[in-house]
Amino acid sequence: MPRYGVAIIGGGPGGYVAAIRAAQLGLKVTLIEKEKVGGLCLNWGCIPSKTLLHSAELIDIFARAGDFGVHADGLRADLGEAVSHSRAVVDQVVKGIEYLLKRNGIEVVTGEAFLRSPNEVIVGGSEIVETEAVIIATGARPRSLPGAEIDGERVLTSREALALQQPPESIAIIGGGPVGVEFAYLYRAFDSHVTLIEALPHLLPSEDDDVSAYLERTFAKQGIDILTNTYFEELDVTDGECRLRLSGAAGEKIASYDKILLGVGVKANTEGFGLEEIDVNTKNGFISVDERMETNVPGVYAVGDVIGPPLLAHVASAEGVVAAEAIAGLQPQALSYVDMPRAVYCRPQVASIGLTEAEAKARGYEVGSARFPLRGISRALALGESDGFAKLVVDRDSDEVLGCHMIGPDVTELIGEVSLARMLRASAKDLASAVYAHPTLSEVVKEAALATKGEAVHFWFERAAAQERSN
């Protein structure tokens, strides 16, 4: 076989982006994927889940269409049809990635890879690929819990959940992180009885406390049962019934559910392809890399979920670019992980970047923060989507924006401008001085920036604080 400049193991958002960037830089590239390009995210994660969540949003919109003078009678929601649509979207996206790989001259090889040495990869047990460098982008898989073994029928991971044709009558979701809250919203919209269980004090425990508390109140209004500070103890699946025993501050609770969904994190895919053969270092189950994404073995790189948090597709893609550029002899800029945006597509949506208020204080900053409610934004009122707020965390000494935390309609589309502000080390004054189109939801960012100086224009904050407390 011809010798390649780089062989990439895994065709997810980290692997395929690395492949395209390496090809752009003139390297001869082969991409080895045992299933479909796109990886977990495109095939069984980001894309199908967000497509289904849009179906859930449409249910909500039609349910309150009468408020806008539109009367939709005979509304019928069919999860099976929604799943079929999501699979069609997945197929379209995957075909687009396959086309991009082909246009960039990247050879895609289907099969399982094994690292015989840093410069040799065996594919399918026999085919030898010689390469000058390797990028490992094998991703991760959902974790199980001791005593809650995944069977794909009653005890599910997100993968099985994305293929359900009928909403369960009742479902307990263990884990209140992004996966848990997104599926909780999805199944509640399709009329399942949903119980969401989290061991820590709040849902979305990595987010700012104000956002997490607001989401909990909103979910409770939607009819989702929330059990925080609650621990899984035992599961008994008999006669098609899932009997769950939990413990917490309120004591022990035993309840039965139709299905159980585990959203308790992931395990890196580091086994079975020869890492130990070439002595690649790992830590806490993830591959260790430097800021160039290179492992301790020269010429062997790793990107994406296999190297650990933050476990996000866009982070994997950014890491793939860094690895490709390093292999090509460039000097890529090191990634700032605190500046990686986070997005959760439940309803209301959650989006954030940078430090939470608690994190900023823990790091010794002289912290200033301000919230601006969406009730003060005309566009939100016009849409009938005025629940939520934007919160800015700033350094009082330098006025630098340390973090932004939002909950509300389409805030995942608004976080990009704060991402740019973070990259440019913009100040709150910079955000406040920019002129925003009116009426738009993005004005909430400007008003929050003004609010850090007590200069917000469109809301009376004494009244706002009282209304927030009443909610």
**188-215 pLDDT, tens digit each:** 999 999 999 999 999 999 999 999 999 9
Boundary residue ending a domain (264, 279, 297) = 264
DSSP bridge partners of 350: 344, 407
Exposed/middle/buried for residue 168 (C-beta within 10 Å: 0-12, 13-18, 19+) = buried
Residue 285, phi then psi, degrees to nearest 5: 85, 0
Give a yes or no: residue 121 inside a domain.
Answer: yes
Give a yes or no: residue 239 inside a domain.
Answer: yes
pLDDT above 80 for 315: yes
pLDDT value at residue 468: 53
Identify whether residues 168 and 278 lie together within a single domain.
no
Identify whether residues 249 and 289 lie together within a single domain.
no
Cβ-proximal residues to 460 (8 Å cutoff; 6+ apart), any chain: none
Identify whether residues 451 and 410 lie together within a single domain.
yes
pLDDT value at residue 459: 74
- Looking at the chain, how many residues does it have? 471
Q: What is the CATH number of the domain that holds 74?
A: 3.50.50.60
At 60, list the tokens.
Answer: 């909500």
Identify whether residues 315 and 359 lie together within a single domain.
no
Task: Provide mean pLDDT across the span 160-185.
Answer: 97
Give a yes or no: residue 353 inside a domain.
Answer: yes
Alpha carbons 104 and 20: distance in angstroms, whole number: 6
pLDDT value at residue 471: 52
The distance of Cα 468 from the centroid of its chain, to the nearest Å, equals 27
Identify whether residues 206 and 284 lie together within a single domain.
no
CA distances from 78 to 59, 167, 203, 258, 296 (A): 10, 9, 28, 19, 51
Identify whether residues 271 and 135 lie together within a single domain.
yes
Identify whether residues 169 and 284 lie together within a single domain.
no
Identify whether residues 246 and 276 lie together within a single domain.
no
Alpha carbons 41 and 166: distance in angstroms, whole number: 23
Range of the domain at 231: 155-264
pLDDT above 70 for 453: yes
Nearest to 444 by CA among 457, 454, 453: 457
Give a yes or no: residue 1 inside a domain.
Answer: no
CA distances from 148 to 151, 192, 425 (A): 9, 21, 46
CA distances from 323 to 9, 22, 31, 112, 299 (A): 13, 9, 14, 22, 10
Identify whether residues 127 and 190 lie together within a single domain.
no
pLDDT value at residue 449: 95
State how many domains the chain has.
3
Q: Are 112 and 34 in contact (CB under 8 A)?
A: yes
pLDDT above 50 for 466: no
pLDDT above 60 for 470: no
Give a yes or no: residue 150 inside a domain.
Answer: no
Determine the longest span between alpha carbons in the chain, in angstroms: 72
Residues acting as catalytic residues: 438
Boundary residue ending a domain (337, 367, 391) = 337
Boundary residue ending a domain (337, 360, 395) = 337
Alpha carbons 30 and 19: distance in angstroms, whole number: 8
Share of the chain above pLDDT 90, in %: 90
The whole model's pTM is what?
0.93
pLDDT band at 220 (very low <50, low <70, confident <90, very high): very high
Measured at the CA of 228, the angle between CA 222 and CA 233, to 5 degrees, comes to 120
At 14, list the tokens.
Answer: 């980290």
pLDDT value at residue 462: 45
Give the chain's radius of gyration (CA, Å).
24
Identify whether residues 60 and 75 lie together within a single domain.
yes
- Torsional sign, CA 50, 51, 55, 57: positive
Give a yes or no: residue 147 inside a domain.
Answer: no
pLDDT above 80 for 173: yes
Identify whether residues 452 and 463 lie together within a single domain.
yes
Give a yes or no: residue 74 inside a domain.
Answer: yes
Q: What is the CATH number of the domain that holds 447?
A: 3.30.390.30
Give a yes or no: residue 343 inside a domain.
Answer: no
pLDDT digits (tens, 9 = 90+) for 16-70: 999 999 999 999 999 999 999 999 889 999 999 999 999 999 999 999 999 999 9
Cβ-proximal residues to 78 (8 Å cutoff; 6+ apart), any chain: none
Alpha carbons 75 and 52: distance in angstroms, whole number: 17
pLDDT digits (tens, 9 = 90+) for 117-155: 999 999 988 889 999 999 999 999 999 999 998 999 999
pLDDT above 90 for 446: yes
Identify whether residues 275 and 363 lie together within a single domain.
no
Task: Calculate the average pLDDT of the chain.
Answer: 94
